[in-house]
Amino acid sequence: MRIYTDLQDIKHPFPRPFVTIGNFDGVHLGHQQLFKTVVDKAKHCKGTSIAITFAPHPLKVVRPDIGIKLISTCDQKRELIAQADIDVLIIIPFTKPFATIAAQDFVDEALIKTIGVEELVVGYDYALGRGREGDIAFLREQGKKKGFAVSVIEAIYVDGMLVSSTKVRELVSQGRMRDVRKLLGRFYQIRGEVQKGQQRGGRLLGFPTANLHIAADDLCPKHGVYVTQVFYDAKCYGGVLNIGYNPTFEGRKISAETHIFDFNQDIYGKDIKINLLQYIRGERKFSGPTALAEQIGQDIEEARGVLFKAQQDHLLSYTTVSAP
């Protein structure tokens, strides 16, 4: 997949471009359908499948007061779009001046002149340009006048839930990871560099942890304990994750602390990825380290059972978990 981060880097239109455009936060099943559509159309016509997105998310620029929490980082989004077999990804820097561009100008300059769009594929609720003035009706009218087709992918529902980034954020904040997986088509993942914490896990509790920092603008799952898969150095391990403030130790900073099963490497400063499979329980304050350690032991036993069953049900393909 070729990646452009500036429209000016595109020196001539692409061969028969089939284009989709959106924020694609989370790359959920609806986004995946957009990608599949442009990929299939482009392959059929020996053309070019193109996805256009923005960085940062437009709402961070035009409505910073909302404080939108993103499902995926830009790196995650790139990885997931590449997996969809898209030929070209264009990441447009979203700035305040860019937000003032009229929909008409974006169509003329970006879609037609720069890219050479043959067909535009968008979601049912998509709109582009200043103040979202370029809605579906506008895009269809532009297509008729200027010679490109417009296809609209209708809303997708799974178990009665609308597949949308907004719904995914809601489910993540509620800890409903099984439902999140239904809308994403994969497990919800957090990632980052392992930080040095208070080092109580191994020294005091007997369960060493890998700690990730959670920033104020990150989408934070519901506080509590989760069954996880942990990816490090091209290997996958089972684990349990606690997200919260460590009330037993009067913690004041939120953190994500993962105990990785059957693992004893020093990974401070290393990058890991963590899939959240299932919420086990809420975060609680215990009477002391002994009571907390006892509960962690129970959490680990339950997590191993969940992982083993998921493996038996073929939901996990490469995590080795012994029978509980």
Domain ranges across the chain: 2-158, 187-313
Residues 63-100: tens digit of each pLDDT: 999 999 999 989 999 999 999 999 999 999 999 999 99
The residue with greater pLDDT, 203 or 122, is 122
Residue with tokens 């919260």: 244
Q: 187-313: which CATH number, 1.20.120.550, 2.40.30.30, 3.40.50.150, 3.40.50.300?
A: 2.40.30.30
Average pLDDT over residues 96-112: 97
Among candidate residues 82, 105, 85, 91, the one with its CA nearest the CA of residue 58: 91
For position 310, what pLDDT does the model report? 82
What CATH topology corresponds to 2-158?
Rossmann fold (3.40.50)
Residues 248-293: tens digit of each pLDDT: 666 668 889 999 999 989 899 999 999 999 999 998 888 777 888 8
For position 317, what pLDDT does the model report? 54
Residues 126-143: tens digit of each pLDDT: 999 999 999 999 999 999
Do strands 157-158 and 235-244 pair parallel, antiparallel, or not at all (unpaired)?
A: unpaired
CA-derived radius of gyration, the chain:
22
For position 249, what pLDDT does the model report? 66
H or E element, residue 165: helix 165-173
Average pLDDT over residues 180-201: 86
- 3-state DSSP assignment of residue 33: helix
pTM value is: 0.90
For position 222, what pLDDT does the model report? 96
For position 323, what pLDDT does the model report? 40
Cα–Cα distance, 190 to 230 (Å, whole number): 10
Work out the percent of the chain whose per-residue pLDDT is above 70.
91
Residue positions annotated with a catalytic role: 257
Mean pLDDT (the chain, rounded) = 91
Cα–Cα distance, 139 to 134 (Å, whole number): 6
- 3-state DSSP assignment of residue 71: coil
